[in-house]
Amino acid sequence: MKKVKNAKVSEKENAIDTRVENQALDDAAWGTGVEVTPRLKPTSIRLSSRTIQRAKIFARIHRQRGYQSWLKKIIEERINNEYEVYKGLRDHPAKRS
């Protein structure tokens, strides 16, 4: 474990750190493994190469890591906006004559 320079550490904290480090290396201290399954399943969407090229340009403009993360952000924003409009229409329906 890397020590921080000029850090004031009490003897109690040192003892705790040592104990945790020793337990981390002891396989008997660990319980059985737990398998975690993701809640969301990945989805793929087919886009034309022209659309992908444009998405790459806009991703760079918006300083995103890649076009896929930018597209995900845009899609989520659009769906959230549409849902808010839907809720507004559902909660306040237009009066019919």
pLDDT given at position 68: 93
- pLDDT at 39 exceeding the cut of 90: no
Q: Please give the share of the chain, as a percent, with pLDDT higher than 70.
A: 90
Which residues, in sequence order, are CB contacts of 65 under 8 Å at separation 6+?
A: 59
57-92: pLDDT as tens digits: 999 999 998 999 999 999 999 999 999 999 988 887
- Sequence letter at residue 97: S
pLDDT given at position 3: 62
41-56: pLDDT as tens digits: 778 889 999 999 999 9
